[in-house]
Amino acid sequence: MASYALVFAVVLIGVAALFRQRLDSVQTNEVRDTLGQEWAAMKGYLQIERIPDTGKYAASWYYDKEDPDETTIVLDIKKTYVITDADGNIVLNATTKEQELSTEYEDIGIDPAYIRATVRAALADNKPRFRERRDSSGERYLMRSGIVYAVGKYDKGHGPPFYVSLGAPLGPNQRVLREFTLVYLGIIPVALILGSVVGWVMAGRALTPVLEVAQAAQRISGSNLSLRIPTRRAGDELDYLILTFNRMIERLEASFQQMKQFSTDVSHELRTPITAIRGQLEVALFTAQTTEQYREAMFNALQDIDRLSQIVRALLLLSQAESGQLALQKSRLDLCAAARDLVDQFQIPAEEAGVRLTADLPEHCFALADRVQIDRLITNLLSNAIKFTPTGGQVRLSVQEGDGEVKIIVADTGQGIPTESLPHIFDRFYRVPGSGAATAPEQGLGLGLSFVAWIVKAHKGTIDVSSTPGEGTQFTVKLPASGVGADTMESVVQVAGLRAGA
Ligand code: ADP
């Protein structure tokens, strides 16, 4: 603040000094112009002539004394003036015999040495000379001097040179300058105080939101991520900064939330098989008597351990995908050939489930894709469709090409998905409540569709689902056709998981 005031004061004083100097030179120039005009007029009205038979010269003023304009001009000229010969002797008036020297000039004083030098110089270059002088009271005058040649009936050509000096007081100018300085000196402290206060308020206004941002940032911790900084609705850079900051916190909050949810889900999912294993082992230890009972307990425990390791494997894949270690191996892949192979493989499980599995595939269709992940994607969709379609139903896998993309459609005539569950089916560990999957958790981990979503995203594709409960479900995956698409995997990965048997 102090440095701001100091800079402001220096600027104010600097501006004042500059302005004062400018004012001074403008005014002095004006006085010079006036003196120039007076000089020209003087040459018209003044004649220095030799007094017959004396060898002496006297000055005569020729002007119309009846004409008020001419009279004023001559009186103005004669306010501050002197006429001398080249040695500095004052010339007399031809009529009045008085010295051609005004009282004001008398007060300033004549300087014969200067007169001689001026006459010499003027004879050489005939240029006007200006200098500043002061009278006895210190009043400043600007003097213009030069030579005027004597003329007359008694001389041939022109006579000897005479020194003429006209002056004009700079006093009025000085007064203006003094007033300016006084006013400005009065204004400076006021302007300084006002400027400092306004600057203080403005700086405070500009800095308050910045401080708020800083304070809000300090308040934010892992447990307080819902905090937002209010924008000022000014639409300026600061609002943009606040908005960006808020968005950053939002993303942080979302990923914190995701992590929390994830660990809750994981511990819940792990607890179920662990409790089951514990139960089986307790049965074996405390109640089983026959070898058969022991074997059954062991068998059940093994099954649960299998499920546990599936979950762990899926989670490992998930963390790999999240940290970007699961890079896609993309190549020009014939999706139709891959789909045909998978439909063949799924014929047996479909038959076992009493579901008719058909395919509608062109001969070839190419996309830039990772074979392993595409197999996993189709496998997950097909096994879901078969799993959630009751005996007698149908599952159809079709692939269509066009508009620079390849569509993979898996449609079934199964139980469908309730509308309220649709937004969640891609969430980790989500199983539609009341569905076969939820009541028989060993049928699935609830991770398959999350992984499907990740594969689609990593291929820069999209996935849509439409479903009518009781009638069936259709998943449509769109992938960029061969040659289009990203080579790197998205860093924001939803989830990666493996389905049982995939
Ligand atoms: P899961 O391992 O349980 O199959 P998914 O993530 O693959 O996990 O699917 C999530 C849930 O979405 C399933 O549990 C099921 O409730 C529902 N779902 C998925 N596909 C279908 C389908 N074709 N028909 C009906 N419900 C489905």
Q: Which atom of ligand 1 is nearest to the CA of 450?
A: 6
The best mutation among 269, 410, 431 to test binding of ligand 1, ranked by most ligand atoms within 8 Å of the C-beta, falls on 431
Helix (H, G, I), strand (E, B) or coil at 288: coil
**CB-side neighbour CA atoms (13 Å) of 324:** 6
Residue 334 parent element (H or E): strand 330-334
Contacts of 461 (CB under 8 A, 6+ apart): 405, 477, 478, 479, 480, 485
Q: Is the CB of 472 under 6 A from ligand 1?
A: no
Which residue has a Cα nearest atom 3 of ligand 1? 446
Q: Is 42 in the pocket of ligand 1 (CB under 6 A)?
A: no
Atom 22 in ligand 1: residue holding the nearest Cα? 385
Q: Using a 6 Å cutoff on CB, does residue 410 contact ligand 1?
A: no
What are residue 32's phi and psi, to 5 degrees?
A: -60, -45
Please choose, from the candidates 391, 396, 367, 336, the residue with its C-alpha nearest in 3D space to the C-alpha of residue 455.
Answer: 367
What DSSP string runs through 209-253? HHHHHHHHHHH--TT-TT--PPP-S--SHHHHHHHHHHHHHHHHH
- Find out whether 229 and 247 touch, Cβ atoms under 8 Å: no
* Ligand 1 pocket residue status of 382, Cβ below 6 Å: no
3-class secondary-structure state, position 467: strand
- β 161-169/57-61 pair status: unpaired
Q: What is the pLDDT of residue 490?
A: 34
3-state secondary structure of 78: coil
Q: pLDDT value at position 496?
A: 33
Q: What pTM does this model have?
A: 0.52
Residue 40's Cβ-count burial label (10 Å; 0-12, 13-18, 19+) is: exposed
Q: What is the pLDDT along the chain (502 residues), one digit of tens a residue?
A: 677 778 878 888 888 888 888 888 888 888 999 999 999 999 899 999 888 888 889 999 999 989 999 999 999 999 899 999 988 899 999 889 999 999 889 899 888 999 999 998 988 888 889 999 998 988 889 999 999 998 766 556 678 899 999 999 887 777 888 888 888 888 878 888 888 888 888 888 778 878 877 887 777 776 777 878 777 787 888 788 888 888 988 888 888 887 887 788 888 888 888 998 999 899 888 988 899 988 998 998 998 898 889 888 887 887 777 667 778 888 999 999 999 999 999 999 999 999 999 999 999 999 999 999 999 999 999 999 999 999 999 999 999 998 889 999 999 999 999 999 999 999 888 888 877 655 555 567 788 898 899 899 889 999 999 999 999 999 999 999 874 433 333 322 333 333 333 3
CA–CA gap between residue 174 and residue 180 (Å, rounded): 10
The per-residue pLDDT for 440 is 56
Nearest atom in ligand 1 to the alpha carbon of residue 436 is 16
CB 454 within 8 A of CB 494: yes
Is the minimum distance from the CB of 388 to ligand 1 under 6 angstroms?
yes
pLDDT at position 377 is: 95
pLDDT of amino acid 389: 94
pLDDT score at 20: 84
Look at ligand 1, atom 7, and give the residue with the nearest C-alpha.
448
Ligand 1 centroid to residue 393 C-alpha, Å: 17
- The dihedral formed by the CA atoms of 185, 186, 187 and 189, expressed in degrees to the nearest 10: 90
- The residues with which 407 forms a beta bridge, in sequence order, are 400, 478
Ligand 1 site, residue 415, Cβ cutoff 6 A: yes
Cβ 377 under 6 angstroms from ligand 1: no
Query: Is 412's C-beta closer than 6 angstroms to any atom of ligand 1?
Result: yes
Atom of ligand 1 nearest to the CA of 435: 16
Tokens of 132: 């500043």
Ligand 1 center–CA 11 separation, angstroms: 75
Helix (H) or strand (E) holding 257: helix 237-282
The atom number, within ligand 1, closest to the CA of 437 reads 14
Distance 484 CA to ligand 1 centre (A): 30
